[in-house]
Structure 1
Amino acid sequence: MKKEFKVKTPLYSKCIEVPKIIDKATGIHILSRFVKAIIFTTDVVVIKNNNADAIMAVYPFTPQPILSHALATVANMPLMVGIGGGTTQGDRVVELALDAEFQGVLGVVLNAPIDNKTLSAVRQAVEIPIIVSVVSTKRVEERLKNGADILNVCAGKDTVEVVKYIRDRYPDVPIMATGGSSDKAIEETIDAGANAIVYTPPTTTQLMKDLMATYRT
């Protein structure tokens, strides 16, 4: 067995570590990167201090280029950014996709309600991968036909079932999925067919609370 070497320093050794169980995933080769663990956050502190393979930055507001630019300057790993698909539709989504590509992001993420016409227009406009969020087993085939490169399953308690449904019918489609908060849930998601796991880290508020509790002892 080859020895694993680690180099750390006292000030920079602390970071948010993704669950080790994610190593069990097969991973996805996205352009020049190999991705298994994806952290779901827009917090620049978390983005700068974690050991994931990539960042997924999607937020519940109208996407704005200035936010994508800011996140791209902080991230020291591949970044996938949300460009709408819910409230934001049509030409605006296409323009946001182009801007994101010009910023050098690894891929763009479209929310589940995206209409197929807009999805197709994004596909024609950009060369980077398009990740479409899926919340049920409906509309999977039309998403793939209209330009989705990767499906991001975020179906809550039904995530494992939706992942299995897609994997059984589309064995060659790359799947990302939210894995839940426990190793058991993550493993079940991987076993169902997810190639990469989207992990939601603790907030900086929670981390600070834990740190202050340590300081007070």
Structure 2
Amino acid sequence: MDIPIVCTIVTEYMDIQERLDAGVDILNVSGGKDTAYIVSRIREKYPDVPIIATGGPTDETILAAINAGANAISWTPPSNGELFRRKMDKYRDKEREKFMQEHQGMTIEEVEDLEEHRD
């Protein structure tokens, strides 16, 4: 059975040739904001080495890694905090919509202004 050896590269200062000489088959680049840059540097020197790159959380960072020469991308999923923020944003939007439906499309500020002028 032939199992490929994958080595994670986290900075452009790591010795790639040393790792390839040791038997590494695939490079997994995980360099944070520098991932695309690291991929491009590796691709220049080693055009045939398979590269997996962490694409980051956005379409832009994923495309940057692909354009830099990555053969495959691993996607960075949203954090628990980001998922919770999205859930709370939906809840807030739902409550705002409910309020506005009950008050003829007016915002809370408009309702308060109207009430102030009634007095």
TM-score bracket, shorter-length normalisation: 0.5 to 0.7
Higher relative contact order (CA 8 A, sep 6+): 1
Runs of 4+ more than 3 Å apart: 211-214
Aligned-residue sequence identity (percent) comes to 46
Decide whether the 8 Å contact of 2:29 with 2:38 is kept in 1: yes
- Letter in structure 1 aligned against 2:5: I
- How well do the aligned residues superpose, as a CA RMSD in angstroms? 2.5
1:130 aligns with 2:2: no
- Letter in structure 2 aligned against 1:194: A
Distance (whole Å) between structure 2 residues aligned to residue 128 and residue 161 of structure 1: 28
- Letter in structure 2 aligned against 1:210: K
1:168–1:212 Cα change, 3 Å: closer
2:76 to 193, 200, 208: 200
C-alpha deviation, 1:127, in angstroms? 3.0
State the partner residue of 2:22. 146
C-alpha deviation, 1:203, in angstroms? 4.3
1:184 aligns with 2:64: no
State the partner residue of 2:32. 156
1:210 aligns with 2:108: no
Unaligned runs of 5+ in 2: 95-119
What TM-score results when the alignment is normalised by the length of structure 1? 0.37
More helix by share: 2
- Letter in structure 2 aligned against 1:157: K
Q: Secondary structure at the match of 1:179?
A: strand
What TM-score results when the alignment is normalised by the length of structure 2? 0.65
Unaligned runs of 5+ in 1: 1-125
Aligned residue-pair number: 91
Larger radius of gyration: 2
Distance (whole Å) between structure 2 residues aligned to residue 166 and residue 196 of structure 1: 14
